[in-house]
Structure 1
Amino acid sequence: MKRWLDKSLKRKLSLLLVVAAVLPLLATGVVSYRIASLVTEEKGKESGLNTLGQIADKLDFVVNDAENMSIFIIGQKDIQTYLSYQAADVNLFTQNIGFLTNLAFSKKYISNITITSASGYPPLSSTTILRSGLPEVLAQNKEAYESGPKWWSPLYENMTTEGLKRVISLVRPIRNMNNFQTIGTLAISIDEAEIRSYLTSAGWENKGYLLLVDRDGSILSGGNSDWSGRPVSRYLPNIPLPEEGRGTFAYKLNSEQETIFYYALPSLHWKLIGVIPTDIYKAQNKYVLTVTAVAIGIALLFTVALVLFFIQRVTRPLTVLAETMKDINPEGAFPTYEVKSTDEVGLLLHSFNRLYDRIGRLMDQVQKNEAMKKEADILALQAQINPHFLYNTLSSIHWIALMNKDKLISEMVGALSDFLRFSLNKGEDFCSVQQEIAHAQNYAYIMSMRFQEKFDIAFYVDPQLLPLPMLKLLLQPLIENSIMHGIQKKKEKAHIYVHGERQKGAMKFVVEDTGVGIERDKLLDLMSKLRGEEGAKPEPGKSGYGLRNVHHRLLLHYGSETGLRIESEPGAGTRISFTIPITEGTP
């Protein structure tokens, strides 16, 4: 791809302009889609809350109607008379049964109306109840029931002649209209099946479900009748439901993302809860996404076509110029182009004509520079004669010493010869670790002859490092620094240790001595000189010059992660180390 672009300015401009045009369009499409999807989602949520509001209005109507009916029943004269008589009246019993039956029959949502006498008279009921769950519910909620003038029960079951009925009852005491003494209890039971019909008629079964929950978190009714009477936390664990108001929030159930709708009925502390999978909104957004994608696609096609057309018009003169210049012979004469336009292409041709003379002069200058370079190479070759003459002279001295059986002079001259030969190293900057160690050992041997009984030196180098390449002349200046500035000033015999070890993809070398060490102020000054700070540059031959040379060579060849690290304690010695990466060959 990169090569394909590099071969044509037209391709680069086309790609650049197409990208510049496409990205804003795509961004516009994404933003438009996001806004449309958010609007759609908000509309869906608002519609869901409106549905809950309509159901809540129906439930409020049922609750208010039942409470108004209870007041009407309590104030009915025949009811008051039946409950207040000293003995049960059969005629009033029959008359009141008919009254309650007609009243319950007129309200579809009423399952049963029951009046229980405090005097033990036969109860009045609009339906024959074989077994009622109300006494057990009243016993379990005695404190809540007796704390107010009316009380709505949780869901319970009644066994009637029509079968098992699940009901929610409004229970309130009946008091005598004259002395306000309690003479009975009224229970108006609301059929749960009728409430469930309100919930299922909302049409949520295709996408979710609705629940009616009481103040204790128990399900009064829902789309699934098996859930009725059970705690909502069993199906929606840890769901946070505000006590008041209405709204929506996201809820995660079994790794599935749901949207929860809630609508509180403050009069009874009941709550309507709607649950819809969030994927429903995503499905609703497919149409918006399709329309947006089609519109953006058409805009992209027009944009790309226009971009390519204008790029072709702009780059055609440049293409012709490039084809012409491609056939120019660099060794021959450069042609002069006739300038016909004043635009950028015309200015380019005019500049080419002006540069032609300048290029000729530069070619002459290059030829002169090449001649001067060859002359410098010859002088450098001549300068190498002296080192070779020195090698030959040292070799002659070495053999004379051997012939005179002076082993010490022979070994010292041999070490010096090897030392000088390695220093030049044919002009190369890198050597093997083994060669670097041998060079350091030659230097140490020569210095041990000079400073006899002053120090001894030991090398501990991992054999696996010996064939690996490294920058030459790194260890010898460190050993020299230890001898000249650490050991020479010490009266007792000192020791030098040279370590070399492998650390993952790097080699670490340490030169450690037991000399006089470095004072803290001097150590800080030395570190400043190594960093080359202003006013701290050492002079050749002074303390720190060799260390700074090694430090800078490490930085130049291996990067800023290398460099010398110096640690010293006065009277105990100095430790200098550096770490360099392992390379397969000469860097």
Structure 2
Amino acid sequence: MNGFKLGKWTLQRKMTLLLVLFIFIPLALFGYSFNESSNRFVAKRTDQQTSQVLSLVRQNVDQMLKEYEAQLKTIYDNEDVIAELSRSEEEGLQQNAGNSETINRFLRNFLRGKEDLDSIYLYTTDEQMHFADFKGSNFFLSQFVQHPEWQQLAEKADGRAVWLPTYELPENRYLPQATHYFLIGMQVKNVADEMQTLGTIYMNVKISALDRLIKEVDVSPHGTLLIADGDGHLQWSRNPEAYGVQLADIPFFKDALVHPETFSKQELNGELYRVGFVRSDYNDWYYLALIPQLDLTEQSRELQQFLLVTLIAFGGSFLLLAWLMSRYITRPIRQMALAMKQVHRDNLQFRLPMTSADEIGLLQSAYNSMSGRITDLIQEVRVISAKEKEAEIRALQAQINPHFVYNSLDTINWMAIDREQQDISAMITALSDIMRYAIQSGEPWVAMEEELKWASNYAYLQKMRFEDRFEITFEADPALLSCQVPRLFLQPYLENAILHGMENVEEGGRIAVAIFEDEATGGIGVRIEDNGSGISNEELQEIVLRRGKGIGIYNLDDRLKLEFGSEYGVEIRSSREEGTQVKIVLPRVSTKIGN
């Protein structure tokens, strides 16, 4: 089966194809760029509109909630109720029976004329309950018992009003269907007696109060508007079935807690949404808008249709222009090609007749000049080729095989052994192992046991170099010796500890290397600490900022964070004249990692 052979095409077809590519690739890039720009424009405009809508909803809801809070605090304006609560606190249960009617009357009057307030309850510190609720107290009490956190949150607020999570009362003889309420709680204080707590008041607000305020608000044709508290409890939704959803378990809500008042693209139940958040500073409620990506696509459809028509019109025009241009250019070239076929391949003396003074004439003239130069160039190429071969031979002769160096060191080692120069033999053996480890081809990750063997040889050579001014110890968890680690990752830290930490130490220097399991990540922890001269705060800051000579120390940190996450990397602690501690956290890898 013959493949696609572009070489058999005529020059006109090739030029037409080339011009078409030069035309349609920019058009395609323009179309893609225009489409992306229109999508960004629509997303930005939608974000702005959604942010305005959410901010307006937040402002209106905050205003309504503040009014409810202000109404609740009118209990302090009723001196009789405060006096009765204070007296009840002092005189006990027997007196409470006489006080109940005064307090209950206040609660009943409090609800009068307030359509959105369902009921109000007041619990005194001596566990007496006063309430105004046409349904009776049993329904609310059952909810109160199920939610002990309500009382805890009210106590934590210590006299400030706190908005509690929305809850549901099931269908009963008073309610034809399940109904949702959101609740405000507040401890009542005796302002005349060292702010002593007199009780806790709870007011149930019908969810219809929020319905009337928000039901006409739309963020998009198919968008969803939600209100939730800081713990992820859904406070309001148009869909009653959504109240059981715990938003704290959904990733996009976690993002809202970290980055409030931002917009992002999220996937929910297999569909893409544009999600926006606005947070209320008043009560830490979050106002969320979920806009389907289909709504955004619909908004940009007109722009996309305009783009499609424009691309078709320009594409057709340019295609016709490309065909005409290729035909005009290639016709005289084809004529020249037919004439050149008459030339014998080895007849470099043939000259084309000049037929025009345009670019084709220039080609003919160039061909004639080129024919005269080819003979000279052939000779020059022969000379240059000979010189290049000679240079290659010299380069090969100048190369030194690393294995030759290794074998030479091995020979010197045996000579040292024969002459009983054990120290020299040990140093040569260590150097040979270091060279073999460094130059051997293979994977960039090796077993921890191999890396520690290299580090021991390196430490031995440096120790001999510094005339035993310091000691280096290695301690490793045997279970980690087979784990994979980056090749030579210890080198910059050992070098820094020896060359910089021990440079001013005459004796008693200590460098300790420990390999252990990191409890926080479950990975491999590596600690390198010394009692050397340490690093000043200014120098350490330069290293952390990847400036100056410390760049190599943090290369491993950047690599680990990029490949495996922010929990891995390098941490350096140091004090001048007290030493330096480097902690490296590596992923626990049991299989080899490729290049």
Instruction: Give TM-score scaled by structure 1 length.
Output: 0.51
Quick check: 1:287 aligned with 2:302?
yes
Q: Which residue does the alignment assign to 2:183?
A: 169
Quick check: 1:231 aligned with 2:274?
no
Q: Which residue does the alignment assign to 1:345?
A: 360
Q: Which structure: larger Rg? A: 1
Q: In structure 2, do the counterparts of structure 1 residues 233 and 327 end up closer, same or farther at CA, with 3 Å as the change threshold? A: same
Q: In structure 2, do the counterparts of structure 1 residues 290 and 5 end up closer, same or farther at CA, with 3 Å as the change threshold? A: farther
Q: 1 CA distance for matches of 2:332 and 2:76?
A: 103
Q: Which runs of 5+ in 1 are unaligned?
A: 360-530, 538-566, 571-587
* SS of residue paired to 1:129: coil
> What are the residue-to-residue correspondences of 1:278-357 with 2, within 5 Å?
278-322=293-337, 339-348=354-363
Deviation at 1:532, TM superposition (A): 5.8
Q: In structure 2, do the counterparts of structure 1 residues 320 and 81 end up closer, same or farther at CA, with 3 Å as the change threshold? A: same
* SS of residue paired to 1:156: strand
Q: In structure 2, do the counterparts of structure 1 residues 328 and 215 end up closer, same or farther at CA, with 3 Å as the change threshold? A: closer
* SS of residue paired to 2:257: coil
Residues 104-137 of structure 1 show CA distances to partners (whole Å, capped at 9, x for unaligned) of 23xxx43333445668888342644352146426
Q: 2 CA distance for matches of 1:178 and 1:352?
A: 111
Q: 2 CA distance for matches of 1:58 and 1:191?
A: 16
Q: In structure 2, do the counterparts of structure 1 residues 215 and 347 end up closer, same or farther at CA, with 3 Å as the change threshold? A: closer
Task: Specify which of 202, 224, 232 is matched with residue 217 of structure 2.
Answer: 202
Q: In structure 2, do the counterparts of structure 1 residues 344 and 228 end up closer, same or farther at CA, with 3 Å as the change threshold? A: closer
Deviation at 1:40, TM superposition (A): 1.4
Q: 2 CA distance for matches of 1:29 and 1:535?
A: 54
Report if aligned partners of 2:234, 2:246 keep a CA contact under 8 Å in 1: yes
Deviation at 1:67, TM superposition (A): 1.1
Q: Which residue does the alignment assign to 1:110?
A: 117
- Computed over aligned residues only, the root mean square deviation of the Cα atoms, in angstroms, reads 4.7
Q: Which residue does the alignment assign to 1:136?
A: 145
Mean alpha-carbon deviation: is it higher for 346-355 or for 28-37? 346-355
Deviation at 1:63, TM superposition (A): 1.6
Q: Which amino acid aligns with 1:167?
A: Y
Report if aligned partners of 2:265, 2:273 keep a CA contact under 8 Å in 1: yes
Residues 131-167 of structure 1 show CA distances to partners (whole Å, capped at 9, x for unaligned) of 2146426744433322311332223345787415422
Residues 345-404 of structure 1 show CA distances to partners (whole Å, capped at 9, x for unaligned) of 234556788999999xxxxxxxxxxxxxxxxxxxxxxxxxxxxxxxxxxxxxxxxxxxxx
* SS of residue paired to 1:166: strand
Q: Which residue does the alignment assign to 2:162?
A: 151
Q: Which residue does the alignment assign to 1:554?
A: none
* SS of residue paired to 1:187: strand
Deviation at 1:93, TM superposition (A): 6.7
Q: In structure 2, do the counterparts of structure 1 residues 205 and 229 end up closer, same or farther at CA, with 3 Å as the change threshold? A: farther
Q: Which residue does the alignment assign to 1:20?
A: 22
Q: Which amino acid aligns with 1:110?
A: L
Q: 1 CA distance for matches of 2:238 and 2:273?
A: 17
Report if aligned partners of 1:251, 1:259 keep a CA contact under 8 Å in 2: yes
Q: In structure 2, do the counterparts of structure 1 residues 70 and 156 end up closer, same or farther at CA, with 3 Å as the change threshold? A: same
Q: Which residue does the alignment assign to 2:498?
A: none
Deviation at 1:65, TM superposition (A): 0.7
Q: 2 CA distance for matches of 1:174 and 1:357?
A: 110
Quick check: 1:191 aligned with 2:191?
no
Q: Which amino acid aligns with 2:117?
A: I
Q: Which amino acid aligns with 1:111?
A: D
Q: Which runs of 5+ in 2 are unaligned?
A: 88-94, 375-391, 399-406, 412-595
Q: Which amino acid aligns with 1:315?
A: T
Report if aligned partners of 2:53, 2:219 keep a CA contact under 8 Å in 1: no
* SS of residue paired to 2:262: strand
> What are the residue-to-residue correspondences of 1:497-536 with 2, within 5 Å?
none
Q: In structure 2, do the counterparts of structure 1 residues 233 and 532 end up closer, same or farther at CA, with 3 Å as the change threshold? A: same
Q: Which amino acid aligns with 1:113?
A: I
Q: Which residue does the alignment assign to 1:68?
A: 70
Q: Which amino acid aligns with 2:19?
A: L
Task: Specify which of 29, 32, 53 is matched with residue 31 of structure 2.
Answer: 29
Report if aligned partners of 2:121, 2:129 keep a CA contact under 8 Å in 1: no
Q: 2 CA distance for matches of 1:177 and 1:324?
A: 113
Report if aligned partners of 2:237, 2:243 keep a CA contact under 8 Å in 1: yes
Deviation at 1:75, TM superposition (A): 0.9
Mean alpha-carbon deviation: is it higher for 197-206 or for 215-224? 197-206
Deviation at 1:291, TM superposition (A): 2.2
Deviation at 1:11, TM superposition (A): 2.4
Q: Which residue does the alignment assign to 2:558?
A: none
* SS of residue paired to 2:165: coil
Residues 16-43 of structure 1 show CA distances to partners (whole Å, capped at 9, x for unaligned) of 2332233223222222221221121222
Report if aligned partners of 1:156, 1:229 keep a CA contact under 8 Å in 2: no
Q: In structure 2, do the counterparts of structure 1 residues 235 and 17 end up closer, same or farther at CA, with 3 Å as the change threshold? A: closer
Q: Which residue does the alignment assign to 2:47?
A: 45
* SS of residue paired to 1:104: coil
Q: Which residue does the alignment assign to 2:230?
A: 215
Report if aligned partners of 2:122, 2:129 keep a CA contact under 8 Å in 1: no
Q: Which amino acid aligns with 2:180?
A: R
Deviation at 1:323, TM superposition (A): 5.7
Instruction: Give TM-score scaled by structure 2 length.
Output: 0.50
Q: In structure 2, do the counterparts of structure 1 residues 352 and 194 end up closer, same or farther at CA, with 3 Å as the change threshold? A: closer
Task: Specify which of 245, 256, 264 is matched with residue 260 of structure 2.
Answer: 245
Report if aligned partners of 1:104, 1:126 keep a CA contact under 8 Å in 2: no
Deviation at 1:187, TM superposition (A): 2.2
Identity %: 17
* SS of residue paired to 2:217: coil
Deviation at 1:51, TM superposition (A): 2.4
Deviation at 1:169, TM superposition (A): 1.8
Q: In structure 2, do the counterparts of structure 1 residues 329 and 95 end up closer, same or farther at CA, with 3 Å as the change threshold? A: closer
Report if aligned partners of 1:175, 1:183 keep a CA contact under 8 Å in 2: yes
Q: In structure 2, do the counterparts of structure 1 residues 94 and 73 end up closer, same or farther at CA, with 3 Å as the change threshold? A: closer
Q: In structure 2, do the counterparts of structure 1 residues 329 and 143 end up closer, same or farther at CA, with 3 Å as the change threshold? A: closer
Q: 2 CA distance for matches of 1:61 and 1:5?
A: 77
Deviation at 1:189, TM superposition (A): 1.6
Report if aligned partners of 1:220, 1:229 keep a CA contact under 8 Å in 2: no
Q: 2 CA distance for matches of 1:328 and 1:536?
A: 46
Q: Which amino acid aligns with 2:256?
A: L
Report if aligned partners of 1:219, 1:230 keep a CA contact under 8 Å in 2: yes
Residues 514-545 of structure 1 show CA distances to partners (whole Å, capped at 9, x for unaligned) of xxxxxxxxxxxxxxxxx9657979xxxxxxxx
Q: Which residue does the alignment assign to 1:96?
A: 106
Report if aligned partners of 2:154, 2:187 keep a CA contact under 8 Å in 1: no
Q: 1 CA distance for matches of 2:362 and 2:127?
A: 117
Q: In structure 2, do the counterparts of structure 1 residues 73 and 324 end up closer, same or farther at CA, with 3 Å as the change threshold? A: same
Q: Which residue does the alignment assign to 1:125?
A: 132
Report if aligned partners of 1:258, 1:276 keep a CA contact under 8 Å in 2: yes
Q: Which residue does the alignment assign to 1:446?
A: none
Q: In structure 2, do the counterparts of structure 1 residues 326 and 534 end up closer, same or farther at CA, with 3 Å as the change threshold? A: closer
Q: In structure 2, do the counterparts of structure 1 residues 341 and 41 end up closer, same or farther at CA, with 3 Å as the change threshold? A: same
Task: Specify which of 287, 306, 323 is matched with residue 272 of structure 1.
Answer: 287
Q: 2 CA distance for matches of 1:128 and 1:236?
A: 40
* SS of residue paired to 2:357: coil
Q: Which amino acid aligns with 2:38?
A: A
Q: Which amino acid aligns with 1:104?
A: K
Q: 2 CA distance for matches of 1:304 and 1:152?
A: 68
Quick check: 1:59 aligned with 2:61?
yes
Report if aligned partners of 1:174, 1:183 keep a CA contact under 8 Å in 2: yes
Deviation at 1:54, TM superposition (A): 2.1
Report if aligned partners of 1:199, 1:211 keep a CA contact under 8 Å in 2: no
* SS of residue paired to 1:171: strand
Residues 152-199 of structure 1 show CA distances to partners (whole Å, capped at 9, x for unaligned) of 222334578741542222222334565565555432222124335555
Q: In structure 2, do the counterparts of structure 1 residues 40 and 183 end up closer, same or farther at CA, with 3 Å as the change threshold? A: same
Deviation at 1:311, TM superposition (A): 3.1
